[in-house]
Amino acid sequence: MIILFVVLPLIVAGILPLVGKVSRRVLPDLLANATLLGLLVYAAVAGRALIAGGPVLQQLSWLGEAVNLRLALDGFSLFMLLAIALVGLAASLFSIDYMEHYGAKANYYALYLVMIAGMNGLVLATDLFSVYVFLEVAAIASYALVAYGLSHDGLEAAFKYLMLSVVGSAFIVAAIAVVFGMTGSLDFAAAAAGLQELNAGPVLAIASAFFLLGFGLKAALVPFHAWLPDAHPSAPAPISAVLSGLLIKVSGVYAMTRIFLNIFGLTPALSTVLMGLGAISMVIAAFLALGQKDMKRMLAYSSISQVGYVVLGIGIGTPLGIAGGLFHLFNHALAKGLLFLTSGSVQQATGTRNLDEMGGLAKRMPVTAATNLVGALSIAGVPPLNGFWSKLLIIVALVQAGHPVFAVIAVLTSVLTLWYYLLMQRKAFFGKLNEKWAAVKEAPFWMTVATVLLALLCVGIGILFSTTVSTWIQPAADVLADGIHAVTGSWGF
């Protein structure tokens, strides 16, 4: 019953506002976290057994009659479901304490679960139009969540995010219409097969350009990144964590790679464009991050830079490159989720996001400081943490595929990344304690649990990286490396 990944969060979201009338805090907390825990267990325990014999296709029947509720689960979608459930659960645990002072908690969880359902639906969709529909589900919920604090900044950022995201969606719909016009089908398998038969180079190029613009905006690749450094810092911390850790990857990177690699087939030209965009994002955003005084803004720029690594890795198109890109996607989801959560702890304790005002917080918040360090070093690519291995895979793949220049750029950007993260760590947590923060206390219990959970995962995956790669990353990379055969061969209904 893989449809549970979509329907369960939706049902719980539907009843949450009613539950909220009975119990303001405890029941919504319990229900939302239990739902996400259930999805995580389902994905982690049952998922691999489900797809052991190849991709699972589900066509449901309703009152004995077959309806067209088609979903498909393969290595790539299962890997994304796991990432969504994992980071989603951590952010939701963090919300138990963090969202206390925002009010209307049941409503918050309802929106949060709709966003999760949208992401899960997108990952399981088997047809282009469903991709668009679920993209919008997740996006609409996220606009409201960015503005959830109702602050001036939050509302302004949400509006900017809405405007740019709608432009992205418009390009995506236009591209879908072009594909439908050419092949007469929206189904992944039929569209992929249809495009192979047609010899429609220029029209396909237009569809690719539209998809690139649309998903580039969703994934916030440079030069389509303008909305992200406003939207992500203004949101409440758990939402920043999910937006940066998951949403830009699901609605940007996942959808883009699924369409480009499994439906269009990666051409050398497309590969070059992807690698170019990835490298530009990586470098420019790293320099922009270096100059930031706002802790969350620095993290937001860092997200753009790290998504650049992911796109660069997948853009190489070799099995190793794709595996490296996907592994980095997973590691960045965990580590950036962690960093946004710790920045939330700091903001709640001190009331500021300005790095210059902080200092010496490690003395007052030792756990937050330690987990923040783990996240920062992981993204910067310091061994033996998880981020090191994924960057290593990408760089090795670049050298193997004959792109030494890109490899050098990736290494140098990594040094830059280490630089700004150490700067952040030193300004916020090390050094002399600012007198203002003498009364600051460690973050509350559930916030600490969430950050410690993610930090342990960063360390654990770093140590057990080969097991993680072989059990989760490789099946996902195989699907993408298989190109269009992955959907045309086994996805026929």
Partner 1 sequence: MILQTALLIGLVIFSVLALLLKDLLRSAISLALASLLLGIIFFRMNAPYAGVFEISVVAGLITVLFVLTIALTGKGEAIHESRLVNWVFPLVFVAFLVIDALVMKSLLGKVPALASGAESGSFGEVLWKARTIDLVGQIAVILAGVFAVLALFRKRDKND
What the block records as the tokens of 171 is: 């390009």
Asked if 406 and 333 touch (Cβ cutoff 8 Å), the reply is no
Asked if 32 and 98 touch (Cβ cutoff 8 Å), the reply is no
Binding flag, residue 26, partner 1 (CB under 8 A): no
Q: How far is the CB of 132 from partner 1 (least distance, A)?
A: 9
Binding flag, residue 125, partner 1 (CB under 8 A): yes
Nearest to 493 by CA among 62, 132, 194, 126: 126
Question: Which listed residue (56, 69, 367, 392) binds partner 1 by CB under 8 A?
Answer: 69
Binding flag, residue 456, partner 1 (CB under 8 A): no
Q: Which of residues 77-116 bind partner 1 (CB under 8 A)?
A: 101-105, 107-108, 110-111, 114-115
DSSP label of 402 = T
CA 46 to chain centre: 22
Binding flag, residue 67, partner 1 (CB under 8 A): yes
Question: Which listed residue (74, 97, 127, 482) binds partner 1 by CB under 8 A?
Answer: 127
Asked if 96 and 28 touch (Cβ cutoff 8 Å), the reply is no
Q: How far apart are CA 28 and CA 17, in angstroms?
A: 9
Stretches 62-70, 291-299, 371-379, 475-483: which one binds partner 1 (CB under 8 A)?
62-70
Binding flag, residue 403, partner 1 (CB under 8 A): no
Binding flag, residue 492, partner 1 (CB under 8 A): no
Q: How far is the CB of 226 from partner 1 (least distance, A)?
A: 17
CA 225 to chain centre: 15
Q: How far is the CB of 97 from partner 1 (least distance, A)?
A: 14
Residue type, 36: L
Stretches 69-77, 244-252, 332-340, 405-413: which one binds partner 1 (CB under 8 A)?
69-77
Q: How far is the CB of 117 from partner 1 (least distance, A)?
A: 6
Q: How far apart are CA 483 and CA 395, in angstroms?
A: 22
Nearer to partner 1, 65 or 435 (CB): 65
Nearer to partner 1, 71 or 261 (CB): 71
Residues in the chain: 493
Nearest to 97 by CA among 18, 22, 29: 29
- HEC string of 335-397? HHHHHHHHHHHHHHHHCCCEHHHCCCHHHCCHHHHHHHHHHHHHHHCCCCCHHHHHHHHHHHH
Nearer to partner 1, 181 or 366 (CB): 181
Site string for partner 1, 430-449 (x = CB under 8 A): --------------------
**Residues whose CB is less than 8 angstroms from the CB of residue 88 and which lie 6 or more positions away in sequence, other chains included:** 36, 39, 40, 116, 242, 246
Nearer to partner 1, 105 or 427 (CB): 105
Question: Which listed residue (46, 54, 181, 351) binds partner 1 by CB under 8 A?
Answer: 181
Nearer to partner 1, 59 or 400 (CB): 59
In three-state secondary structure terms, 58 is strand
Nearer to partner 1, 10 or 459 (CB): 10
Binding flag, residue 209, partner 1 (CB under 8 A): no
Binding flag, residue 458, partner 1 (CB under 8 A): no
Binding flag, residue 123, partner 1 (CB under 8 A): no
What DSSP assignment string belongs to 259-292? IIIIII---HHHHHHHHHHHHHHHHHHHHHHHT-
Q: How far is the CB of 114 from partner 1 (least distance, A)?
A: 5
Nearer to partner 1, 183 or 306 (CB): 183
Binding flag, residue 200, partner 1 (CB under 8 A): yes
Q: How many residues bind partner 1 (CB under 8 A)?
A: 58
Q: How far apart are CA 219 and CA 215, in angstroms?
A: 6
Question: Which listed residue (6, 90, 298, 395) binds partner 1 by CB under 8 A?
Answer: 6
Nearer to partner 1, 206 or 367 (CB): 206
Asked if 305 and 417 touch (Cβ cutoff 8 Å), the reply is yes
Binding flag, residue 396, partner 1 (CB under 8 A): no
**Buried b vs exposed e over 248-284: b needs ≥16 C-beta within 10 Å?**
bbbbbbbbbbbbbbbbbebeeebbebbbebbbbbbbb
Q: How far apart are CA 66 and CA 92, in angstroms?
A: 36
Nearer to partner 1, 69 or 401 (CB): 69
Question: Which listed residue (37, 167, 185, 352) binds partner 1 by CB under 8 A?
Answer: 185
Question: Which listed residue (96, 186, 299, 374) binds partner 1 by CB under 8 A?
Answer: 186
Binding flag, residue 29, partner 1 (CB under 8 A): no
Q: How far is the CB of 241 from partner 1 (least distance, A)?
A: 18
Residue type, 147: A
Q: How far is the CB of 123 from partner 1 (least distance, A)?
A: 13
Question: Which listed residue (47, 121, 238, 387) binds partner 1 by CB under 8 A?
Answer: 121
Residue type, 135: L
Helix axes 128-146, 105-124, angle to 10 degrees: 160
Asked if 331 and 378 touch (Cβ cutoff 8 Å), the reply is yes
Where on the chain is the footprint of partner 1 (CB under 8 A)? 6-7, 10, 13-14, 17, 24, 62, 67-71, 101-105, 107-108, 110-111, 114-115, 117-118, 121, 125, 127, 129-130, 133-134, 136-137, 140-141, 143-145, 147-148, 150, 180-187, 190, 194, 198, 200, 202-203, 206
